[in-house]
C-alpha cells in the first residue's frame, strides 16, 4: 500500500478509531490518544500485509485492540480503582467530558471483553463475525459477551441516573 493510499484511508477512519479508543479507555483522553498514535504507526509499519478486500476499519480495529490489550498488560501493576482512574477534564474540554462522564463511568465498570464487544458493535459498527476476528474469539463467545455487556451497561446507566 502506498503512503498516499494509507493516509487517505486513515483520514476517513481516524476520528471513529479515536472515539472508540476514548470510550475503551473510559474517557482517559491522553491514554486514548497515545494508543491511537501507536495503533496508526503500527498499522503503517504493517501496511504491506493489509489485503484490500478486507475492511480497512476492521484491520485497524484489530491492531487497536491488540495495542490496547498490550497496554493493559504493561500497566496492570499500576492500575487504580476504576473511579479514581477517570480523568479530570481540562477546562476547554470540560463540557464534552461532563456530558459523557456518566457513560464513561458505566463503560469503565464493564468487564474488558464485554466492553470491547459492545464498543466495537455500537461505535465501530462491526459485525459479530468481525468482532470475533478482531478479538480472536469465536462467534458464540462474542454473542454472549455482547448480550451480557448490553445488559450490564443498561443496568449501570440506569443506576447512574
Partner 1 sequence: MKDDLKETFDSYRPDMGDDKEYMQCLQEKMAALEMVKRYAEEQRRLYRRRMVIAFTVGTVLGIGLTIYILLHPFAVAANPSRLTWFIYNSRFLLSALTVAAVSISIAVLCTLQPLKKAYSSPVR
Binding residues for partner 1, per CB under 8 A?
A: 3, 7, 10-11, 14-15, 18-19, 22-23, 37, 40-41, 44-45, 93, 96-97, 99-100, 103, 118, 122-123, 150, 153-154, 157
Shortest gap between Cβ of 41 and partner 1 (angstroms)?
6
Nearer to partner 1, 138 or 160 (CB): 160
Report helix angle 139-160 to 112-122, nearest 10: 90
Shortest gap between Cβ of 149 and partner 1 (angstroms)?
9
Nearer to partner 1, 7 or 72 (CB): 7
Nearer to partner 1, 32 or 134 (CB): 32
Shortest gap between Cβ of 100 and partner 1 (angstroms)?
6
- Alpha helices (H) along the chain: 3-24, 29-45, 56-74, 82-85, 94-99, 101-108, 112-122, 128-135, 139-160
Nearer to partner 1, 79 or 155 (CB): 155
CA distance 23 to 137: 21
Shortest gap between Cβ of 68 and partner 1 (angstroms)?
17
Q: Which residues contact 104 (CB under 8 A, 6 or more apart)?
A: 23, 26, 27, 86
CA distance 60 to 44: 10
Amino acid at each position: 500500500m502506498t503512503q498516499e493510499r494509507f493516509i487517505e484511508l486513515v483520514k476517513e477512519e481516524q476520528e471513529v478509531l479515536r472515539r472508540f479508543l476514548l470510550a475503551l479507555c473510559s474517557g482517559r483522553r491522553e491514554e486514548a490518544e497515545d494508543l491511537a498514535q501507536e495503533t496508526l504507526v503500527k498499522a503503517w509499519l504493517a501496511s504491506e500485509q493489509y489485503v484490500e478486500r478486507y475492511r480497512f476499519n476492521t484491520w485497524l480495529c484489530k491492531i487497536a485492540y491488540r495495542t490496547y490489550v498490550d497496554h493493559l498488560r504493561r500497566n496492570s501493576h499500576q492500575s487504580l480503582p476504576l473511579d479514581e482512574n477517570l480523568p479530570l477534564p481540562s477546562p476547554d474540554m470540560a463540557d464534552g467530558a461532563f456530558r459523557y462522564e456518566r457513560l464513561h463511568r458505566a463503560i469503565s465498570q464493564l468487564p474488558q471483553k464485554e466492553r470491547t464487544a459492545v464498543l466495537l458493535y455500537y461505535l465501530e459498527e462491526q459485525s459479530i463475525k468481525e468482532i470475533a476476528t478482531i478479538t480472536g474469539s469465536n462467534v458464540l463467545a462474542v454473542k454472549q459477551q455482547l448480550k451480557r455487556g448490553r445488559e450490564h451497561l443498561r443496568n449501570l446507566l440506569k443506576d447512574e441516573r
